[in-house]
Chains A and B, each alone.
Chain A
């Protein structure tokens, strides 16, 4: 063991969730006294790495040491006892408890209170003031603004005086003045020897505060850059890698008339309104880091979420506003993000899963004609090259990719003109992904309009005619086909309107 504390060191850390390898080879050296930024796009393994450090997950393999001593935290509590305090991405408060209780939440033992009431109050007041300004300690936390609640979560970590402080997107919900105060506080703590891991999706923040930056891509640590070598272009290049995948790339082509139109759609009370037109035969990609509004937007287009602004389906026979009920009738089909829970009937058969919304087509004299169902299903099974045992098998016997194809068939059976896909290839193997891309290309060539939200940048580059990148609950950039690249999309994720290369 060294005499000098070596900080938090992760070596070759991996973590698997079912079939998904969230982290394959995570390496990170977090030195005492530094502000170290962890950077990566969706699914790069950031959150998994943070949760391993914070004691939520345990790694499948690899080592974690703090000042040379192996760390095997089994819970956030155990991590905190070692001096690792994590402010998780979610704003975690107990709404009907007071601000004071929330600041000290988890610091106490099961029965034993840490510190006296008066001391608790003065420390909480002091720490909160340094980040968010004066917040009344006796107010229920639920009555605070989002920014104040985020500050409260940060204060909760700070009052523990941790050796290692992890801030996972903690600036996302902070207002600007609180963020500036947090930065001052971070620098002060680093000067006192605290190791700080910082995660943010704002490049300007990363450039301002980081001593070093480690980039994660597809579950691996790809580079660690010193402040002196920091350049935004380099970081974006590291995040995207240099994967060549132009061969499947969609060719630009002419789109038809507008068939779906969104006017002044607002995703949050204060966000900028979005005007959107979808034309016949067009494939539009929606992108953004998790939680920036793209998910809400596609739900608004589908009519399954309501809010300010209007979404109108334009047909030869006239325009009609979309609601939760009339999607089918207007030829708009929506494939939700969560297969389990939102789409699948897990205990039912493959064929039933396919046929449920369209059983009306199999009606013969008020009864169901099972042969008609079978005929329809077989036709789709062929065109989508679906692989299954028997159509009566439970849907759960299929792989994720084939389940997704069954669901795609379910909605294609409604004869839609507009197909809205919410992250359709999540948890789908690469071969089936390619097949789904080919199907979408074919459908759009036949005149169908597709909106596809994807958390995978490569996929959007392959699929889309243009991509809308969301930031802060609005459209930050619209990237036309000519400028479409992983770099331009990821740059927009992080708030850069890049002219990196066009």
Chain B
């Protein structure tokens, strides 16, 4: 009897334990599965973010380390610098010059790739090739091509009788040249994202439109573009974040990486880097941290504007699709 009861006991216990395991599995496992992301985020995202905030309220030198408490002093100093505002202007300007043509071009390329082409995979992989090239290599080649006196582009312009453009010396041309590098790299990538979305559009729509007598162009604007709304929003948001943080291309645009003699193409991330690590006037971690936080706040503001715009587009989109 005792053995029997023991056996029963054991059996019951076993069931309850595995029950418990089951319940834990259901309750805890999902969190465990997503935890690597959050652990990584805390280590590489949240901690540096908070630590930067801590650094930003101190005088902090690259070698000397932590100094006196400065309060809002570093923020005031950064906001009083002309260079900060110039850098902000440059970041936005390069972002706009690159993002707008890039999205339009990517849409057109995607629309072409969506047609029945021969050797489809070849063309689709082809547009991705620039994305594979390292940005620094791209920057080296382009900065050479856009040389003021001996560059390929000015040479070609000279052939057709156009005066040489100051690709490095002038503000807008330098932004244009840097935007070209960004577009070179990202247009194909975005085109593939658009292409994926386009292929998800039900083909019946196009058949119906064709029966109604709509041409290719009309189809593109009335069917393809409205169906791409969510994808468009995704692409615009990612390129906004990327655009405001642009660093590699402008930094490699000349050999010193300081953004030009009158900060023509100094972007906000380069400004932060130069404050922190730059050879001229660098090593000021406190001020660099303050500038980094200001950039963070700016991106949040731009993000909120994006979100508002996204909501309007999304609701109007769902209305039109009904």
Do A and B form a real pair? no
B-side residues, CB < 8 A to A, are none
A-side residues, CB < 8 A to B, are none
